[in-house]
Structure 1
Amino acid sequence: MKDREAQQRAEDWKPEDDAATGVPRTAAGPKEYEPREGAGTMEKISVDSANEHFAPLIAGEPPATDLLTAKAPVSNAPSGTQPVELEPARRPTATPQRTLYMIGNAHLDPVWLWPWQEGYQEARATFWSAIQRMDEYDDFVFTCDQIVLLSWVEESDPELFARIQDRVAEGRWVNVGGWWVEPDNNLPMGESFVRQGLYGQRYLISRFGKPATVGMNVDPFGHNAMIPQILRGQGMDSYTFLRPGPHESDLTSTLFWWESPDGSRVLAYRIPFEYGSPPGAVDYQTEKAIGSLDRSMGDAMVFYGVGNHGGGPTIANIESIHRYDRMGTFGRLTMSSPRTYFDEILARGDAFLDGLPVRRSDLQMHARGCYSAHSGIKAWQRRAQFAVLNAERWAAVVAVTDGIDYPRDELETAWKQVLFNQFHDVLPGSAIEPSYEDARDQLGEAVAISKRIITRAHNTIARQVDVPREDGTQPVLVFNPHPWPVSTDVVFQYGSQRTGVHVVDENGGEVVFQNTQSTATTSDVSRGAVVFRAEVPALGYRLYRLRSGHGSGAGTSLEVSERVLENEHVRIELDQRTGWISSYLVKATGVDLMAGVDGEQHTQITDDPTDTWGHRVVSYAWPSAPMALRRIVVRETGPLRSRVRIEREWHASTLIEELVLDHDSPVLRVNVTLDWREHAHLLKLRFPTVLQEPTATYEIPFGHLERHVNGSEQPAQSWVDLTGRIGGEPAGLTVVATNKHAYDTSGGDEPSIGITAVRSPVYSWHDPRLLDPDGIYSFQDQGIQNFSYELVPHAGDWRAADPVRRALLLGNPVRAMQESFHDGVLPPVHSFASDGGGSVMVTALKGTEDACDAPGGADVVVRAIETRGEPGRSRIELPMLGRTIEEDFGASQLRTFVVPSDASEPIREVDLIERPL
C-alpha cells in the first residue's frame, strides 16, 4: 500500500462491497486509476460508473446500455495492462496456506570488484533509496547488516543518519548481524569474531539504543562451528545465511538448530535461492525460493532487493509484492524482518522447536580455493591480529601498574582496520588487485599503531627493571606476550662486540647459545647475531646479558649432516635423491612415522585452471609434478640447534626449506622461502606418513573439529593432525603452520597432510567466464613469500603435543630488546598474568571498553577458552592485580571476566560485548 488512505481502504472492505468489481466503495468518492507510465494506453474507468453499469445485471434487470460497448473491470494479473493500484481485496480461497516474510535488504560488498571508496559512496546512495521507499510505502521494512556501512553514513551524511535513527525507532529499519562486516567465517582468529560483535553491537547500542538480536552473514562461503557460541555471547539467538547451498553440503534443512561444541544453540535459517533480486518483479525470486525450501516448514523468509553493489528494494519490487499478495499466487506475502520471522517461529512453542533438526558441525562449503588464494592478505591479517592482541595486553599491564592511560581509541582504530579487511571478498583473496594495496596499507596502520603501544609499554617496564652495571656486557630483556611460560630460541642482532658474545641469565649462568648469520652484510666486524634459549615467564619478561667472548659452551647430543639430523629424542634421515625425509624415528616409542615414504610427494605442482574462488572444486590433491632437488647444505651447527638448507626449483620458481632441529626437542621446524613465478598453477607441500587407519583433526577458530581423511580441501586455523597406529602402537603427526589455511588429509598407502602453499589464479576471475588465450591478465602471488611450519610427532593424542599454544608461539614470537644499566624496583624476572598452561587458555587480556576510575582509566578484561574439548578448571593468576580467577569450564566453553583494579570489588562475569550476565 502506498499510503495510509490505501491501508484504510483495505481495512474498510466488507462483503457487501460491490461484488461486480471486487473494489470497496469508500467515502473518498470515485477513484480513477492511471496505467503505469510506459505500460500502454487504457481508458480511465470510474469505479462508481462501473458500479452503476453492472448494478442492473446483479439485480436481474436488463442492461441500460449496450453490452457490446460496456467496459468490464480489470482482473488481477502478474503482468500486462492493468491499474497500478488495484484496491486490496480478500485473497482467493485457493491461496496456499503459508506466509512468506519478504525481507527487503541491500547486500553491499564494501570491497569486491570495486575499491572501498566506491563502496563508501554506495552505502550512502543505497540508504537514501531505502529511506525514500519508506516515505512512499507505509508497510515497507528494510533490513540492514554490516555496521561499518552505518558508520560511513554517520560521518558523511548526518541528515541521512538522523532519518535512519527515526526509522529504527519506528521499527521499520531493522539492524541485524551485529558485526562490523560480513567476514570470512573460517580464516580469522577466534578473538576476531568476538571483536566483530564487540564493536558492531556497541555501535548499535550507542547510536540506536539497542543491539542486533539476529546474526546475519548472507554471503560468506562457509561458517565455522563455534559461531553459535559467539552469537549467544553477543546477545543474538538466531542466524541467517545463504551458503553452502543444498548442492554444496549434506545440510538438507532450511530451518534448524545450530549447536556449537559447548552446547550453545541458535535458530538458524538458510536463505533459499538468493539474498537479493533483480530490480523488477519478485516472482522469479519467490518461485526459486519456494523451490529450494524444506517443504515441511511452512512459513519462510524470501530475501529481495538489488545487491552486491547495493541498491536495495525498488518500486517495482514492492509493487509486485503487493500484487502477488493480492493474487494469492505464493501465499500471504508480508514485508517484514528476520526478527519478526524468528519470533513467529519461537512462538510456536517447545513441541515444534524440539522437532527441528540439530546441526552439530560447521557449515561448509562454497569456494574451497579461497583458503589459499592471495597468500599476502592471509599473512598481513594474521600479523595484524597478533599485533593488536599484543598491544592490548601490554597496554593493560602498564595501565594497571603505572597508571598510563589505556589507549582505547587507538586500539579501536587498529581493530576496525583488521575487522574491515576480514570482509568475505578481501581476506579470501577474491577482490580486485588494487583492493589489496588498500588492505596492505590499512593493516599496516593497525600494526604500526600496535607497535607504538607495545614499544611504549615495554620501555615503561624496562626502565623500572633493576639492571646492575657490568662493564663490557649488553643487557637484553626478552618479553613474552603469551599468558603462559615459554621456552624458545631468540635470535638477537648485536653491535660493538669484536670478539663475539656468549649469553648468560640474570644470575650469570650460561644459557645454551650459538652464533648465527647477521642480517647486516657489512665490513663492521663488531656486528653479529646470536641465537640463545630463553625461558620466559607468562606475560612477562626476563633479563639476559651478552658477555664478550665465546664462553665455555655447553655440550649436547645434537648431530647434523646432509643426511641426518639427530638429538636424544629423534633421528631424522634425508633421502639424497628427493631431498625429503625418509625416516622420522621417535626414540622414546621406537615408532618411525615416515619409514621409507616417497619423498617426491613432498612438493606437488599442479596446473590449476580453476577460477579465483576455486568454484566447484572438491580437492586439490591431484596428480602432480615434483620440484627438482638442487642441493642440500648444512647451514648451521652448534649446541643449541642444527639447520639444514634444502633448495628446489621448477621452471622459474624456487623453494628453500631450512630444517631446524633443536638439541632438546622432537619437533622439526622448517622455515620456508618460496619464490613463485608460475601462472595458474598451485604448489602443495605434502607430509606422507606410514600411519594406519588415521583420523584427522583440524583447528578451527576457538576450537577443533574432526574431518574425513578423503583428500578434500578444507580450511584450518594453524594446525592439522593425523592420528592412527604404526605396528600396533598409537602414533600421530601434527603439522603446525603460519599464515596458511588450506589443507587436506589424504589416505592410501601413505596417509598424508597437505598444505596448499600457493595458488596463482587471475585476480577476480569468476567462472563461467573463460580466459582469452591472448588476453593480458594479472596473476596472484608472484614473487617471494615466507612462512614456517613444524612437524610434531606424538604418541597417539594430539592434545599431548599442545598444538594450540605451539601454533600461537610459532606465529607470535617473543620480543627481545636491548636495555641499559640502571637501578629499578622491578626484579629481573617477572610475570604479570598466567593461565598456567593447562586446558583453559587466556585468549584476551585487555582494558574495559568503558572508561572507569581505575588506574589508566580501565579495569581488566580476561577471556579464556577450554582448548581440549573436555571439561576443565581454570587458575588464572593476575599478579599485576593481586587477583586469581578459579572457575570451572565446560568443554570448549568461552568465558569473559572483568577484574576490577580495586581489590574490594568482586570479579564479575560479562558477555562478549562486556555487559553483565
Structure 2
Amino acid sequence: MCMKPKVYFVANSHIDPVWLWDKDEGVGVVLETFRRVVEFLKQHEGAVFAASSAQFYKWIEEIDPELFEEIKRLVNDGRWIVVGGWWVEPDCNIPCGESFIRHALYGKKYFKERLGVEVDIGYNIDSFGHSWGLPQVLAKSGYRYYVFMRPNPREKDLPSDVFLWEGPDGSRVLAYRLPTSYSLTGKRIVREVRRLVSSGRRTILILYGSGDHGGGPSKEDLEAIRSLTGEIEVVHADFHAFFREFEDRDLPIVRDELQHHARGCYSALSRIKKLNRRAEISLLEAERYSVMCELLEGSSYPLEELRRAWRRVLFNQFHDILAGTSIPEAYGRVESELGEAMSIAQDVKLRSLRLVSRRIETLGRGIPVVVFNSLPWRRVVPVEVELSWGVEKPVVAVDEKGCLVPSQEVQPSSLVGRGRVRLLFLAELPPMGYRVYWLKPGDVDSDSDLHVADNTLENSRLLVGFDSGGKLFKLELKKLAWNALSSTAGRVVYRDESDTWSHGVEKYDEIIGEFEVLEWRIVERGPVRASIEVESRYGSSKLLETYRVYTGMPYVEVVADLDWREKHKLLKLHFPVNVSGPRAFYGIQFGVIERPCNGMEEPSQGWIDVEDGELSRGLALLVDYKYSFSIEGSTIGVTVARSPIYAHHDPYRPSGALRYRYQDQGSQEFAYILYPHVGGWSASRIPVLYEEILFKPHVLLEYPHKGELPATYSLLEVGESSVLLTALKKAESGKGYIARLFEPLGKEQWTTLKIHATGQEIRARLSPFELKSLLVRPEIPLVTEVNLMECSTT
C-alpha cells in the first residue's frame, strides 16, 4: 500500500518590527499578534505555533507580563515553539561575524533564563541570502538545524529542500529551505500543498498564518488543512519531529553560500550600513580595552552596560532595517539607537583608557601622548594628534628612549587660530597594549623615501601615477616593475531604475556616464605622507578624493568625500587589474569565498582580491563601510552610492504626480586601500591588513605624571601566526575572559596566545577557517576551550 505524503504544519506569524511602519507600530503588532495566537491555541488543541526573536519576547515580558506567563505555560506544554534563538532575524550578509555570535549568545541566554528553553533550530526565513560563514556559527552555538526561504528555487539551485549545509571550516547543520511562502493562509494552503505533493515531495513542512505585519493563524487555515486529510497525512508538530525524518538519511552536502536574493540590499542606504559597522567596531574595541583596564587598573568590567549596547545594535541589524528597505520615517529611530550604542561603547572605551593612562609614567621629554593598539600583534601605523602649540619651533615626536620618530605637521581641523597644530607621526606599537610618545619643539627629519610631483606619488615600494586628465592609471609594484592597473581607473555612473531591493537584477550593466575631473593638486609632501587631491563632478554630484602614500607602506590609501545628488542612478569605482586568467576572492564572515568574474553584484565583508592564478600576483581593494562589489573580467567594481526610492517594491511603479524620497542623497565619506601584492590573497595576508583598517589606534593626550606602569606595555599577543583575535571580552558568567581566535588564511596554523598581564601562555592549533573560543581565568593556569555560548566543549 502506498503511503500518503506526510505534511507537517506549523503555525507562525512572521513579524517585521520595522519595515513599512516604524518601531512604535511594530511593538504594537508583536503584542497584538502574540495575544491573538495565545487565544488561537486555547481554542484549537492540536495546533502548534512557532516564533523567533528574543527582542519580541522581551517586549512582552516588560509590557504585558500576564501574556508572557501564558506564553511560558504554552512553551512548557509543547504548543508554543521557540525557534531562531537570535535577538532578531537579521540581515545575513552585512553584520560582521562577531555580531552573528552575539545574536546567538544574547538571544539563547534570554530564552534559557526566561523560558527554560535551549533553542537548537536556527531560523532566518525572510533574510536576503545567507553567508557561508553561518554553519560554523550555528554549529558552535548549539544549533542542529537551520530553516530559511531565500534564495528561492529560481534564484539558487539546491539538490533538495533538506540538505547538510557545510561551512568553510567543515562545520555542518541540517538545513531546510521552505519550498513555499512562510505566510500561507486559507485556500492558498491547499493549492500549495497539492503543488508540492505533485512535484514528488513525500515529506514536507509548511508554515501557515498571516505575517509581515503580524496576524497569525486562523480557524479558516485549520479548516483548509483539514480538507486535505484524504490526500495527505496531516501532522501538527514542531520542527524537531520533521527533522528527525531526515537524520538517518544519506543527504546531499552543500558546500556553498546560500545566495542570491535582492542584490540591491548590499548597497542600499549606505549611511545605516556605515553606522552599523562603526557601532560593531566601537563595541569590540570597548570590550578589549575594558579587559585591559580590569587587569591593569582593577576597575570592574561594565558587563551589563555593554550587553545593553550590543542589544541595540543587534535589533537594528533586522533584515529590513540593515538592508535599507524600510520607510524613511523609521530610520530616525534607527540612527538614534545605533548612536546610543556607539556612545555607550565610546564612553566605556574612554573611561577604560583614561584609567589605564593615569597609571603610566609620563614624566619628562615634553607633552605625553599615549597610543593604544587593540590588535594582538606589533604594528607600525600612522597616527594623528591635534593639540594647542604656542611655540614657534615645529612640533616633533620622540619615543621613550628620546629617539625622534618620523613626523610631519598636517592641516588642523579648526580655523580659529589659538595655536592649534596637528601632527602626523609613525607609531610602532606593541601587541594589544600601548606606547607613550612625547611631543616637543624640534627640527623635523625630512629624510624620506617619499617623492611627489604634479602627477605622481612614490615611495620605496609603490609608484602611483595620474594621466593628463587626472585619472589614476598607474599603480606600480616596484620590485616587479608591474603596473597593477591595465588601464585608467574610473568613477562610473550606471542607470538603475530597479526598486529598493533590485528585484530581478543580477548585475548593473547600463553605463550612462562618468565623473569628469575638474582639477587636482598636491596637498602634502611628506616625509611621512604625500598626498594628491582630485576633484571631479557628474551632473549635480561632486567627488573629492585624496590619494595618500605613506613612507614604507605597500599600499595607497584613498579618502573620499562624495556629495551625491542623482536619482535612479548608481556610482561604482572601477579598477581594471592587469592580470590574465583572473580569479576573484571575497572576504566573508569567518571565511573567504571564490566567485566567478562575471560582473554579478556580490556581498563582501569589505575586501576583495583579483589575482593572476599563474603569475601569483594581484590587486586587493579594502573598503570601510561598503559591502557591494562586482568583478567583470579583471575589473573590480565597488558600489559606493545607489539612489532608489525608499521602500519601493516591484511591480509598483512611481507616479509622476507624486514626490518620493530617494536614498543616499547628500554627503558621505568613506575610505579604501589599493594593495598590489606578490602571491595570492592568503600569502599576502589580506584579512590581516583589513583588521588594521577596521581597528585603528586610539590616541590620548596626557599630562606629565608619575605612575607604576611603564612607557610601553603589551597586555596580550597572538604570536608566530596570522591568527586573528575576533573578540576579547568578559565571560557572561562574570568569571574569566573569552579570547576568540580565528584562522583567516585557509590553512592550518599553530599559534601561541601570550597573556602578559597574567603570565599565561596557550599553544593552540587551528584548522583552516576555524573559530576557537578560550576561557581564560587569571587565577587558574589551565585554559578551557568553550563553544560560542561559552560552555565547555569537553
How high is the TM-score relative to the length of structure 1? 0.85
Instruction: Provide the residue aligned with 1:172 in structure 2.
Output: 79
Instruction: Provide the residue aligned with 1:517 in structure 2.
Output: 411
Question: Retained in 1: the 8 A contact 2:407–2:444?
Answer: no
Partners in 2 of 1:689 and 1:406 — Cα distance? Answer: 47
Partners in 2 of 1:497 and 1:621 — Cα distance? Answer: 56
The alignment status of 1:537 with 2:438, answered yes or no, reads: no
Partners in 1 of 2:189 and 2:780 — Cα distance? Answer: 61
Instruction: Provide the residue aligned with 1:315 in structure 2.
Output: 219
Deviation at residue 286 of structure 1 after TM alignment: 2.4
Instruction: Provide the residue aligned with 2:712 in structure 1.
Output: 829
The DSSP-based 3-state class of the residue aligned with 1:705 is strand
Deviation at residue 882 of structure 1 after TM alignment: 1.5
Match of 2:472 among 565, 568, 581: 581
Instruction: Provide the residue aligned with 1:571 in structure 2.
Output: 463
Partners in 2 of 1:332 and 1:298 — Cα distance? Answer: 10
Q: Which amino acid aligns with 2:410?
A: T
Partners in 2 of 1:391 and 1:552 — Cα distance? Answer: 35
Instruction: Provide the residue aligned with 1:773 in structure 2.
Output: 656
Partners in 2 of 1:571 and 1:282 — Cα distance? Answer: 64
Partners in 1 of 2:668 and 2:720 — Cα distance? Answer: 32
Partners in 2 of 1:479 and 1:257 — Cα distance? Answer: 44
The alignment status of 1:741 with 2:613, answered yes or no, reads: no
Match of 2:332 among 414, 437, 460: 437
Deviation at residue 288 of structure 1 after TM alignment: 4.5
The DSSP-based 3-state class of the residue aligned with 1:695 is strand
Partners in 2 of 1:881 and 1:774 — Cα distance? Answer: 69
The DSSP-based 3-state class of the residue aligned with 2:319 is coil
Match of 1:838 among 704, 710, 721: 721
Deviation at residue 846 of structure 1 after TM alignment: 0.3
Partners in 1 of 2:697 and 2:390 — Cα distance? Answer: 24
User: How do 1:600-679 residues align onto structure 2 when only pairs under 5 Å count?
Assistant: 602-679=490-567
Question: Retained in 2: the 8 A contact 1:497–1:548?
Answer: no
Question: Retained in 2: the 8 A contact 1:719–1:734?
Answer: yes
Match of 2:694 among 787, 793, 811: 811
Deviation at residue 289 of structure 1 after TM alignment: 4.5
Partners in 2 of 1:604 and 1:402 — Cα distance? Answer: 52
Deviation at residue 802 of structure 1 after TM alignment: 2.1
The DSSP-based 3-state class of the residue aligned with 2:719 is coil
The alignment status of 1:396 with 2:284, answered yes or no, reads: no
Question: Retained in 2: the 8 A contact 1:229–1:260?
Answer: yes
Q: Between 361-370 and 485-494, report the one with greater CA deviation.
A: 485-494
Deviation at residue 510 of structure 1 after TM alignment: 0.6
Instruction: Provide the residue aligned with 2:108 in structure 1.
Output: 201
Q: Deviations over 1:189-219 (max 9, x none)?
A: 1100000000011111101222211111100
Q: Deviations over 1:89-142 (max 9, x none)?
A: xxxx98x62110011111001111111111111111111111111111111101
Instruction: Provide the residue aligned with 2:602 in structure 1.
Output: 714
Partners in 2 of 1:713 and 1:812 — Cα distance? Answer: 27
Partners in 1 of 2:498 and 2:186 — Cα distance? Answer: 31
Instruction: Provide the residue aligned with 1:298 in structure 2.
Output: 202
Instruction: Provide the residue aligned with 2:242 in structure 1.
Output: 341
Partners in 2 of 1:269 and 1:712 — Cα distance? Answer: 26
Deviation at residue 827 of structure 1 after TM alignment: 0.6
Partners in 1 of 2:409 and 2:297 — Cα distance? Answer: 37
Unaligned runs of 5+ residues in structure 1 are: 1-92, 852-857
Question: Retained in 2: the 8 A contact 1:281–1:317?
Answer: no
The alignment status of 1:877 with 2:754, answered yes or no, reads: yes
RMSD: 1.5
Match of 2:772 among 895, 901, 906: 895
Partners in 2 of 1:519 and 1:837 — Cα distance? Answer: 40
Instruction: Provide the residue aligned with 1:217 in structure 2.
Output: 124
Match of 2:134 among 193, 202, 227: 227
Deviation at residue 812 of structure 1 after TM alignment: 2.8
Match of 1:181 among 88, 96, 111: 88
Question: Retained in 2: the 8 A contact 1:218–1:242?
Answer: yes
Instruction: Provide the residue aligned with 1:3 in structure 2.
Output: none
Partners in 2 of 1:419 and 1:193 — Cα distance? Answer: 9
Match of 2:351 among 446, 453, 456: 456
Partners in 2 of 1:666 and 1:536 — Cα distance? Answer: 18
Question: Retained in 2: the 8 A contact 1:792–1:801?
Answer: no
Question: Retained in 1: the 8 A contact 2:494–2:509?
Answer: no
Q: Which amino acid aligns with 1:363?
A: L
Unaligned runs of 5+ residues in structure 2 are: none
Q: Between 117-126 and 182-191, report the one with greater CA deviation.
A: 117-126
Deviation at residue 837 of structure 1 after TM alignment: 6.8
Instruction: Provide the residue aligned with 1:77 in structure 2.
Output: none
Partners in 2 of 1:200 and 1:830 — Cα distance? Answer: 37
Match of 1:907 among 758, 766, 783: 783
Deviation at residue 452 of structure 1 after TM alignment: 1.0
Instruction: Provide the residue aligned with 1:56 in structure 2.
Output: none
Q: Which amino acid aligns with 1:486?
A: R
Deviation at residue 281 of structure 1 after TM alignment: 6.3
The DSSP-based 3-state class of the residue aligned with 1:102 is strand
Question: Retained in 1: the 8 A contact 2:296–2:356?
Answer: no
The DSSP-based 3-state class of the residue aligned with 1:834 is strand
Q: Deviations over 1:814-860 (max 9, x none)?
A: 11010011111111011111112723211000001113xxxxxx411
Deviation at residue 459 of structure 1 after TM alignment: 0.9
Question: Retained in 2: the 8 A contact 1:239–1:269?
Answer: yes
Q: Which amino acid aligns with 1:210?
A: V
How high is the TM-score relative to the length of structure 2? 0.98
Partners in 1 of 2:11 and 2:137 — Cα distance? Answer: 26
Identity of aligned residues (%): 35
The DSSP-based 3-state class of the residue aligned with 1:164 is helix
More strand by share: 2
Partners in 2 of 1:729 and 1:151 — Cα distance? Answer: 56
Question: Retained in 2: the 8 A contact 1:281–1:316?
Answer: no
Partners in 2 of 1:673 and 1:281 — Cα distance? Answer: 51
User: How do 1:495-514 residues align onto structure 2 when only pairs under 5 Å count?
Assistant: 495-499=388-392, 500-514=394-408
Q: Which amino acid aligns with 2:395?
A: V
